């Protein structure tokens, strides 16, 4: 009976894996095909021949790296405060944080637009970066992750004269690498795939990240569109493949605490 259950589970796993990977294989296959046969010319145009695609790619990558760095700083400090510090209203603030975490992005577009307009940041890259830094998901994940650090370790570090910065860098963060990787990957993916924010906050087409500019590739050339899709999917595909174990461990740790 156990063997039959295992075989059934494997069959369903293969079916779901095939359904998940089939669109990518389809796009990858068609990206080499033209009415005249197989060609690598479009890959040369996108990756080497024309700077417009790669330039936008690197700009988008830089935006995402700044978002990831800012969100890590905010999430680490706030997560440590919620996990290891006692202050009035902590539980209420954490509850509000959880409510904000489940709000759809569209709810915050108008308030963010008004705030960015008052600050004079509309139609700049800062309009994409600043709101993305303060997304509450990273704080929630690291709050749950930091709770795994024993209070005895924290107290011993304080007795040895460790300040906050040294305690974080030497003790807390090395013990929570899975949570850090999880926040890094999720924040990168969120920034890399942003669509509504650039359309709402930016008017200049040249400032659009590649996730939005992809829709403006000439529709008369579908093979070029497919090659651009491959270019866009490469960074998240590499990160999720390389850090898959840490991502799963970080999510599981956040759920069980």
How many angstroms separate the Cα of 233 from the Cα of each of 10, 107, 192, 254?
27, 27, 10, 27
Q: Where are the alpha helices (DSSP H) in the chain?
A: 2-30, 41-44, 51-84, 90-102, 105-119, 126-133, 136-146, 151-159, 164-167, 177-192, 196-201, 210-213, 222-242, 244-256
**Looking at the chain, how many residues does it have?**
257
Structure tokens at 246: 């840490």
pLDDT classification of 213: cutoffs 50, 70, 90: confident
Q: Which residue has the higher pLDDT, 49 or 75?
A: 75
Domains of the chain: 51-256 (1.10.3720.10)
* Burial call 110-143: b when 16+ CB within 10 Å, e when fewer: eebbeebeeeebeebbbbbbbbbbebbbbbbbbb
Cα–Cα distance between 131 and 148 in angstroms, integer? 29
Calpha distance 146→79 (Å, rounded): 7
Residue 252: what pLDDT?
66
31 against 81, higher pLDDT: 81
Contact between 210 and 191 under an 8 Å Cβ cutoff? The reply is: no
pTM: 0.85
Distances (CA, A) of 75 to 69, 82, 83: 10, 10, 11
Q: What is d(CA 80, CA 166) in angstroms, rounded to the nearest whole number?
A: 13
Q: By three-state DSSP, how is residue 33 classified?
A: strand
**Confidence at residue 247, expressed as pLDDT on a 0 to 100 scale:** 73
Encode pLDDT of 5-30 as tens digits: 677 778 888 888 888 888 888 888 88
Distance CA 45, CA 41 (A): 6
71: pLDDT strictly greater than 90: yes
Report the distance separating Cα 224 and Cα 55, nearest Å.
16
Average pLDDT along the chain? 84
Dump the DSSP string for 204-239: -GGG--HHHHGGGS-TT-HHHHHHHHHHHHHHHHHH
To the nearest 10°, the Cα dihedral for 238, 243, 248, 249?
-170
pLDDT at 204 over 80: yes
């Amino acid at each position: 009976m156990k063997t039959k259950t295992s075989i059934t589970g494997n069959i369903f796993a293969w079916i779901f894996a095939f359904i998940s990977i089939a669109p990518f294989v389809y796009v990858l296959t068609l990206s080499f095909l033209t009415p005249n046969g197989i060609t690598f010319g479009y890959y040369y145009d996108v990756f080497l021949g024309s700077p417009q695609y790669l330039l936008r790619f690197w700009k988008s990558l830089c935006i995402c790296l700044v978002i990831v760095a800012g969100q890590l700083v905010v999430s680490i400090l706030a997560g440590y405060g919620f996990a290891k510090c006692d202050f009035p209203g902590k539980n209420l603030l954490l509850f509000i944080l959880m409510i904000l975490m489940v709000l759809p992005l569209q709810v915050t577009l108008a308030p963010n637009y008004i705030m960015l307009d008052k600050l004079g940041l509309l139609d700049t890259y800062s309009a994409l970066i600043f709101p993305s830094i303060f997304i509450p998901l990273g704080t929630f994940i690291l709050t749950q992750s930091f709770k795994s650090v024993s209070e005895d370790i924290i107290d011993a570090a304080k007795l040895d004269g460790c300040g906050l910065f040294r305690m974080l860098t030497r003790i807390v963060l090395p013990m929570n690498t899975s949570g850090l990787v999880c926040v890094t990957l999720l924040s990168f993916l969120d920034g890399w795939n942003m669509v509504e924010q650039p359309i709402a906050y930016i008017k200049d087409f040249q400032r659009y990240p590649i996730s939005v500019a992809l829709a403006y590739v000439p529709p008369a050339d579908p093979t070029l569109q497919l090659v651009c899709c491959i270019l866009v999917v490469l960074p998240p595909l590499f990160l999720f493949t390389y850090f898959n174990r840490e991502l799963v461990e970080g999510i599981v740790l956040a759920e069980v605490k």
